[in-house]
Structure 1
Amino acid sequence: MDEARPGSSPFARVGRREFGYNTRQVDRFLTKARGYYNAEDPDSEAISSNEVRAMAFDPAKGGYEPQAVDAALDRLEDVFAQRERDLLISTKGEDAWLRQIGRTAAVLRRRLHRPAGERFRRPAKEKSSSYAIEDVDRLCDELLQYLEDDVPMSVDVVRRAVFREARGADGYEENQVDVFLDRVVELMAGID
């Protein structure tokens, strides 16, 4: 991991009146991650790739530029996912890793094989914010090609996916889609 020069910020900041990520929270997390990354004992203060992916920072005026921080977290997640994969292979063998990947891929494929428009549940509340079905289904079709036809796809396509907003039953429930996409990212980061 790159270390910032003493007295310098590791990321560019937004304007003083704009909102970015809270610098103290980002610095604290990256210091902890750097400590784990550089640790002799990989079990000490372990940080998982899932924790990196789930990390969120409070907005703060004049904070760090979000896109730069997000890109750094993506790279960090990939490094930790690779470490987790290597640890699994070294302790339990490559077959154990392949079984784990196979089980995860099978669960994801089952949902992806559902008919378009029926892959995820609809929000229970009429006015709830939801994701546009067509947008989510389009990404699901691409994921199915990645998983079954070896069509190349970057994990960043999934990480950066943005869906148009829908209302209520006109869209898919956001939380369910987000959790599914987290599993897809986990799988892709573990494979690549």
Structure 2
Amino acid sequence: MDVARPSSSPFARVGRREVGYDMRQVDRFLTRARSHYNADDPDSLSVTSSEVRGQSFRPTPGGYDPQAVDAALDRLEDVFARRERDRLIPAQGEDAWLRRIGRTAAVLRGRLHRPHGERFRRPGRGNAPSYSVEDVDRLCDELLRYLEQDLPLSVDVVRRAVFREARGADGYEENQVDVFLDRVVELMAGID
């Protein structure tokens, strides 16, 4: 990786032959997020923690280092999630925030309480890539302990979760697992 970094670049860049994130797209999004963060009326520009979490950038040779950008986006998501919580509580009361958290947690717990091997759909196509049932269930068990036994778990463990690849019905459908984990991250970022 090319660690040379111009003084105006916010992130290290990958080598010319490596693929990174499109620098213009990253810079545009971060400029917009910074404007929202610094705005007197944050609602006027409405960048949300959910938008930060879902942000993606075009792969480009010689672009920004994806790991550095992803880490910055994780921190930004946490800041926006805290701000959203801090705005909701004075506007609607702490009970409203607790109800929102409680509803989300109840939905997530419902899936987590399903038996091992039955928590998510299996892909319909026999050769479709899927996630290892064992790996996903292991993370689900950790999440259940986090939600019900108050055992510590960093949101970054969920963000960085990597599962072995399976094929077809030997694994869980990737998209369904990803959407579920996205909701888990949303919940954890709002709580912590």
TM-score (norm 2): 0.96
* Cα shift readout 1:6-49 (whole Å, capped 9, x = no counterpart): 95100000001110000000000000000000000111111010
Which sections of structure 1, spanning at least 5 residues, go unmatched?
Answer: 1-5
- Which residue of 2 is the match for residue 71 of structure 1? 71
CA distance in 1, matches of 2:116, 2:93: 38
Amino acid at match of 1:76: L
- Which residue of 1 is the match for residue 171 of structure 2? 171
CA distance in 1, matches of 2:92, 2:78: 21
- Which residue of 1 is the match for residue 145 of structure 2? 145
Does residue 13 of the first structure (1) align with residue 13 of the second (2)? Answer: yes
Amino acid at match of 1:160: R
CA distance in 1, matches of 2:99, 2:56: 31
CA distance in 2, matches of 1:165, 1:57: 24
CA distance in 1, matches of 2:162, 2:94: 35
CA distance in 2, matches of 1:127, 1:91: 50
Q: What is the CA distance between 1:188 and its match in structure 2?
A: 0.2
CA distance in 1, matches of 2:7, 2:167: 47
Q: Which portions of structure 1, spanning 4 or more consecutive aligned residues, are displaced by more than 4 angstroms?
A: none
**Structure 1 counterpart SS, 2:44:** coil
- Which residue of 1 is the match for residue 135 of structure 2? 135
CA distance in 2, matches of 1:40, 1:162: 39
Does residue 162 of the first structure (1) align with residue 147 of the second (2)? Answer: no
**Structure 1 counterpart SS, 2:130:** strand
CA distance in 2, matches of 1:136, 1:94: 33
CA distance in 2, matches of 1:22, 1:131: 28
CA distance in 1, matches of 2:7, 2:20: 20
| Aligned pairs, number | 187
- Which residue of 2 is the match for residue 183 of structure 1? 183
* Cα shift readout 1:130-169 (whole Å, capped 9, x = no counterpart): 0000000000000000000010000000000000110000
CA distance in 2, matches of 1:45, 1:104: 26
CA distance in 1, matches of 2:108, 2:7: 45
Which sections of structure 2, spanning at least 5 residues, go unmatched?
Answer: 1-5
CA distance in 1, matches of 2:35, 2:18: 31
**Structure 1 counterpart SS, 2:166:** strand
Compute the RMSD of aligned alpha carbons: 0.9
Alignment of 1:3-152 (within 5 A): 8-152=8-152
Sequence identity percentage? 79
**Structure 1 counterpart SS, 2:42:** coil
CA distance in 1, matches of 2:116, 2:85: 33
- Which residue of 2 is the match for residue 3 of structure 1? none
CA distance in 2, matches of 1:182, 1:96: 22
CA distance in 1, matches of 2:187, 2:47: 17
